[in-house]
Homo-oligomer: A and B are copies of this chain.
Amino acid sequence: MSLEFTLEGRFPVGEARAGSLRTPHGVALTPLFMPVGTQATVKSLGPDDVASLGATFILANTYHLYLRPGAELVAEMGGLHRFMAWPRPILTDSGGFQVFSLGHMRQVGADGVRFRSHVDGSEHYFTPERATAVQELLGADVAMAFDECTPYPCSEAYAREALGRTHRWAERCLAAHTRVDQALFGIVQGSTYPALRHESARFLSGLGFAGYAIGGLSVGEPKGQMYELLAETVLLLPAAKPRYLMGVGSPEDIVEGVAHGVDMFDCVLPTRVARNGGLYTWHGRINVRNAAHKHANSPVEGDCDCYTCRTFSLAYLHHLFRCEELLAYRLATIHNLRFLQRLTARIRAAILEGSFSHFRAEFLAGYRSASEEVRAEQRAKWSKRVVGVE
Contact = CB atoms under 8 A, between A and B. Distances in A.
Interface of A: 39-41, 43-48, 68-69, 73, 76-78, 83-85, 294-295, 297, 307, 311-313, 315-316, 318-320, 322-327, 329-331, 386-388
Nearest to A119: B323
Given A47-B311, A77-B297, A388 B322 contact: no
A314 to B, nearest CB: 10
Contact of A322 (B48, B68, B294, B311): B68
A116 B294 CA distance: 23
A183 B69 CA distance: 51
Given A77-B297, A330-B326, A48 B388 contact: no
Given A46-B307, A330-B46, A41 B73 contact: no
B326 A83 contact: no
Contact of A68 (B48, B78, B85, B319): B319
Contact of A294 (B43, B73, B329): B73
Contacts of A78: 297
27 contacts: A40-B316, A40-B319, A41-B325, A41-B327, A43-B325, A44-B326, A44-B330, A46-B327, A48-B307, A68-B319, A68-B322, A69-B315, A76-B297, A77-B297, A77-B316, A83-B313, A83-B315, A83-B316, A84-B316, A85-B311, A85-B312, A326-B326, A326-B329, A326-B330, A326-B387, A330-B330, A386-B386
A78 B315 CA distance: 12
A268 to B, nearest CB: 14
Contact of A43 (B76, B319, B326): B326
Given A48-B311, A326-B329, 18 more contacts: A39-B323, A39-B325, A40-B316, A41-B320, A41-B325, A44-B327, A46-B331, A73-B294, A73-B315, A76-B295, A77-B313, A77-B315, A85-B311, A85-B312, A324-B388, A325-B388, A326-B330, A326-B388
